Amino acid sequence: MKLRLARPCIDCIVYSLAVFIPLATLICISNLASAQSTQPTLPAPIVITGADIRQAMSLNGEWATIVDPYSNGFSSYFRNQITEPGDNKLVEYNFAKSPTLKVPGDWNTQRDSLLYYEGTIWYQRDFSYQPKEHTHIFLHIGAANYKSWFWVNAKKVCEHEGGYTSFNCDVTDAVHAGANFMVAAVDNTRREDNVPTLKTDWWNYGGLTRNVSLIEVPEAFIDQYDLHLKRGEGSEIEGWVHVNGGKSGEDVQVEIPDLHAKATAKVGDGGLAAIHFEVSGLERWSPETPKLYKVKVSAGEDTLEDLIGFRTIETRGTEILLNGKPVFLRGVCIHAEAPYRTGRANTDKDAETLLGWAKEMGANYVRLAHYPHDETMLRAADRMGLLVWSEIPVYWAIQFDNPKVLAKAQQQLDEEIGTSRNHASIILWSMANETPNNETRTQFIETLAQHARELDGTRLITAALLVHNEGNTKVLDDPLGKALDVIGANEYVGWYEQTPAGADTTQWRIAYDKPLIMSEFGGGAKAGLHGPATQRWTEEYQADIYRHQIGMFNRIPQLRGLSAWILMDFRSPTRNLADIQDGFNRKGLISDQGQKKAAFYVLQKAYLAKTVGKAE
Ligand code: GCU
């Protein structure tokens, strides 16, 4: 093992003074990160649309793990720790004897000792594989929070930053026929230049939090495709298919068997084939009729089958038009917190429980906060008929003046939109939540919005903005509103300010002639705590907030949607009121154990009777 003498930094000096270890021999921890990335540059992971429906070998299950708070293992843990009998080699790790963690899953809720753990954990598992000729093999990671590195048979195959989007690493040259071993390092340490940055009002769940698998594709394969209904009255399907390694002139085919529709197109420059074809008898996707069609996409040796709904979404003045008709979004916000067991949500069951509660409440829309959610959630929203607001974690005060941070946010957009672009449920791409109103921030997010429009011109761009007060008037005039199609506004009248009844006299002044969504509102309550409606934390107080809010909403002419904060209580390190919060944000309409609070029924009544919001 070659010692890499790093340039001593302040930590080393303090450290060595403290413990008198000669400087020359010290490997400086903070330089380790840079040491990790001074390896030969690896091919960047790629985005694969619909990776979750590809033929794959799952690598989910129990992985051996080593908790490495000082990130010591970057000099050795990725190697196979085989030692020959009598071999005097010093090896200070042994996966085979190490405890395991489940993948997919956050580590925090799997072991009490890891609930608050922030740092590096190493994962290792063996797998057997028989690679086929003329194929590519990709390691598909549903998500790894926050930074992650991967080795196959001791060969580094990729690294990634960003905790909530999927990525795919080419492991074709590293996988052997027969026995293989894989090692991953995941580090959820919060840093200023991360996205999100140091402070969030949600738990920093670390680990391989979503499905992990090996995907095998032909040498030329479909990595991304976009198929959607053209805006307007007609029934024209349009979009494109990108063939990675595709040659100009080759055929691409798109088929919708149930509509007896088939289209062929030629691969053009850069592997892209443009798709346009008319269909007849199409049933448009909507919350009332969430019709999904089996769609076959093929190019050369590669074929995939996806389930896609076709609908249009656009704005006209202050209206949001779904399939050309005005729609009001009756919704709720959801964190990817698993019901009952808590921790990162990542199963079909988690998705069906959470979205099932939203449907039961009369919702036709959900805001998935504050980061891209799992494909299982989006597929469930497609199936169950829920419109989706999807967001990247540009949350509060990230480093808006740092170009590297802009690149990270753009990468997250590439991965989010590239992976999830064919979900009929998703109608809104949100660029940010509650960011400070200053010029640097505005430029940063305008750049993001432009990037998102280039990636996908078929959906609406939004963000959750802060509002300010002029007396009892709420004023929404953040300049960022210019760059958005739909304005989101977060307000907490009755909780962070005023009393619940304060909403009765609250006016609104909105500087934009655009649709408005109240992207957050509400207050906290401990499930089962009852008392006068004037007593905070009681269900009665929370329900009272909702009653008054509903009255206020019906006095805002351009309001086109609501997403209450929040469907279910969720873990947050900033919520430590004993006996009430105990590490949970209690603004849920339902507790993390599934207890519906009184406010749930207040909102349900208004949503089912459509007595809140403009009638469609
Ligand atoms: C904010 C923020 C949420 C947070 C909520 C709250 O508006 O966007 O992430 O959890 O308010 O204070 O509960």
- Residue 3 above 80 pLDDT? no
For residue 514, the surrounding DSSP H or E stretch is none
Distance from Cα 496 to the centre of ligand 1, integer Å: 11
Of 178, 172, 188, the closest CA to residue 123 belongs to: 188
Q: What percentage of the chain carries pLDDT values higher than 70? A: 92
Whether residue 146 has a cis bond before it, omega within 30° of 0: yes
456-499 residue pLDDT tens = 999 999 999 999 999 999 999 999 999 999 999 999 999 999 99
Atom of ligand 1 nearest to the CA of 587: 13
Mean per-residue pLDDT of the chain: 93
- Please tell me the distance between residue 370's alpha carbon and the centre of ligand 1 in angstroms: 10
- The mean pLDDT value for 543-547 works out to 98
CA torsion through residues 461, 464, 468, 472, sign:
positive
Q: Compute, in angstroms, the gap from residue 412 CA to the centroid of ligand 1.
A: 21
- CB of 391 closer than 6 angstroms to any ligand 1 atom: no
258 in ligand 1 pocket by Cβ < 6 Å? Answer: no
Residue whose CA lies nearest to ligand 1 atom number 3: 201
E-strand stretches of 22-173: 56-58, 61-68, 100-103, 120-129, 135-141, 144-145, 147-152, 155-161, 167-170
CA 490 to chain centre: 20
Summarize the confidence of residues 583-587 as an average pLDDT: 98
Give every CB contact of residue 316 below 8 A, 6+ residues apart in sequence.
none
Pocket test for ligand 1, best of 430, 518, 565, 568 (most atoms within 8 A of CB): 565
Check: CB of residue 333 under 8 Å from CB of residue 566.
yes
Q: Does 585 sit in the ligand 1 pocket, CB within 6 Å?
A: yes
Is the CB of residue 201 below 6 angstroms from any atom belonging to ligand 1? yes
Q: What is the pLDDT at residue 87?
A: 75
| Residue 406 Cα to ligand 1 middle (Å) | 23
* CB 311 less than 6 A from any atom of ligand 1: no
Q: Taking residues 385-396, report their average pLDDT.
A: 98
pTM above threshold 0.85: yes
As a whole number, mean pLDDT of residues 1-25 equals: 45
Q: Is the pLDDT of residue 38 over 70?
A: no
Residue 174 has which token pair? 């590293």
Q: Ligand 1: does its nearest atom lie under 6 Å from the Cβ of 604?
A: no
Distance 365 CA to ligand 1 centre (A): 19
CA torsion 78-80-81-87 (nearest 10°) is -130
Token pair of 10 as six digits: 């302040």
Q: What are 491-528's pLDDT values in tens digits?
A: 999 999 999 999 999 999 999 999 999 999 999 999 99
- Cα–Cα distance for residue pair 13/497, rounded to 1 Å: 48
pLDDT of res. 83? 63
For residue 614, what pLDDT band results from cuts at 50, 70 and 90? low
The identity of residue 425, as a single letter, is S
pLDDT in tens, 303-328: 999 999 999 999 999 999 999 999 99
Cβ neighbours, 10 Å, residue 534: 12
Task: Return the best residue to mutate from 394, 430, 520 for the ligand 1 pocket (most ligand atoms within 8 A of CB).
Answer: 520
563 lines ligand 1 (CB under 6 A): no
pLDDT greater than 60 at residue 10: no
Q: Is the peptide bond before 196 cis (omega within 30 degrees of 0)?
A: yes
Question: CB of 521 closer than 6 A to ligand 1?
Answer: no
pLDDT band of residue 86 (cuts 50, 70, 90) is: confident
